[in-house]
Amino acid sequence: MKKISRREFVGGAAVAAAGFTILPSSVISGLGHKMPSDKLNIAGVGVGGKGFGLMRLMQSENIVALCDVDWRYSKSCFDYFPNARKYWDWRKMYDEMINDIDAVVVATSDHTHAIVAAHAITLGKHVYVEKPLTHTVYESRLLTRLADKYRVATQMGNQGASGEDLGTLCEWLWNDEIGEVTKVEAFTDRPIWPQGLARPRPQEVPDTLNWDLFLGPAPERPYNEIYTPWNFRGWWDFGTGALGDMACHILHPVFKGLQLGYPTKAQGSSTLLLQDSAPQAEKVRLVFPERPQNPQSRMAFPEVEITWYDGGLRPNMPDGWPAGRNMNDDGGGVLFHGTKDTLICGCYSRRPWLLSGRIPEVPKTLRRVEAGHEMDWVRACKESPDNRLETASPFKEAGPFNEMVVMGVLAVRLQTLNKELLWDGQNMQFTNITDDESLRIVIEDGFQITDGHPTFDKTMTDPLNAKAFAQELIKHNYREGWELPPMP
């Protein structure tokens, strides 16, 4: 890989930003188009780490373009696909290659998922987006509606959605094997990356990283190596903490199995809540109202309370738990407390079982994915929208589900209001945060021990208007030069 100078780097990014235009969808070829070879032309955005793994899973197709802001981290992917055109800036890639791309895979940091995917959809491109789908409630709603308007094939990267175990779990629930569920508890053993930290000192930006492009729509801040790659998950501006990262895997069987929609109540608590970084451990309680009975289901769907734990916190083992059995199954677990029995599964819906020890025998009513989560999306991309067999986690489901996940983040970040928050999902607003409420957030802990004596000297923000702060968390005000398409 050619090493470029810092001046060339920054100058090239400026040219890319200045040259970016969004073509109207009317000039893009019709959806469901197949290449002459019957292979999809795929572009990847964010191709270090997880993105590289996704590209390899789809390498039977034409990988035509690769984009990343960190050319050291993405070098392995660039080398693996030497014929793909390489870009720093996805906007420039879209500008230059829009007619050569059928589909886009997005595996950037959380805060840029929505903007990369949304513009791809308006250009008529199918999109696969890693979890969490978006950083905010508004972004999730936007991708849901755009996908419906442009009729593209979509998939969120919660791979358990395509697993055999999710089908089994839902079929057990819907056959009324455990009765009505009014309480669910779920947890993860994450984070395994740094969290609960104050903002670090500035460092020199490496020549192989375009820091301005990494920031994208987020507020400006100096670079530090602790932010990226991978560790972005622990920083509020770029990630969603352990909850956003793992709840998309762990809570999906809850959302799908219990046919959830928007929550009505939310409350969070945690270890020390800081302005910049997610806390080390969290507990979130969400309440969902009664739902109509699904034609597929024999079970009723009463109001249900869902409690999430992370950072070492976890629910109590219910009475009758098998001695010596670990509650943590592949990174976490879920307990569905029913009126007849308790259903337990691990992360990704894995290995569902009943506390009674009974093994239900129920008919299989859900489609099983044979090709794998990623290639099933490729299959859907090649089908006409009029006859498309839907993927396992399309945005019409993944979008509302992701709203549930980031609602947990909202509950944690608004915890200092010390009350249960009432949520109007249809209008994306809290109804019981008043105009005159304020909150303050810790910037730095300031805790020290000198000669055995502790001192406490917290640095706090000035009072923040709670309603305005909440609205910014629901719908970010993007940095100048970065915009989402309008909401359909």
Q: Which residues pair with 67 in a beta bridge?
A: 45, 87
Q: Which residues pair with 42 in a beta bridge?
A: 63, 103
Query: What's the rounded Cα separation, in Å, for the pair 441 and 473?
Result: 14
Structure tokens belonging to residue 453: 């004596």
What is the pLDDT at residue 34?
A: 46
What is the pLDDT at residue 17?
A: 40
Query: What's the rounded Cα separation, in Å, for the pair 346 and 323?
Result: 17
Whether the bond into 206 is cis, omega within 30 of 0: no
pTM above 0.85, yes or no: yes
Query: What's the rounded Cα separation, in Å, for the pair 202 and 250?
Result: 35
- Is the domain defined by 162-354 classed in CATH 1.25.40? no
Return residue ranges of the chain for CATH 3.30.360.
162-354
Which amino acid makes up residue 174? W
What is the pLDDT at residue 9?
A: 34
C-alpha distance across the termini of the chain, in Å: 42
**To 5 degrees, how large is the angle CA 208–CA 211–CA 212?**
135
What is the pLDDT at residue 295?
A: 82
What is the pLDDT at residue 37?
A: 58
What is the pLDDT at residue 64?
A: 98
What is the pLDDT at residue 222?
A: 98
Are the C-beta atoms of residues 485 and 118 closer than 8 Å to each other? yes
Return residue ranges of the chain for CATH 3.40.50.720.
6-159+373-394
Query: What's the rounded Cα separation, in Å, for the pair 250 and 350?
Result: 9
Name the CATH code of domain 6-159+373-394 (choices 3.40.640.10, 3.40.50.720, 3.40.190.10, 3.30.9.10): 3.40.50.720
Which amino acid makes up residue 201? R
Average pLDDT by consecutive 10-residue portion of the chain (488 residues)? 36 40 36 60 97 98 98 98 98 97 98 98 98 98 98 98 98 97 98 94 98 98 97 97 96 98 98 97 98 89 98 97 96 98 98 98 94 97 97 98 98 98 98 97 91 90 97 98 97
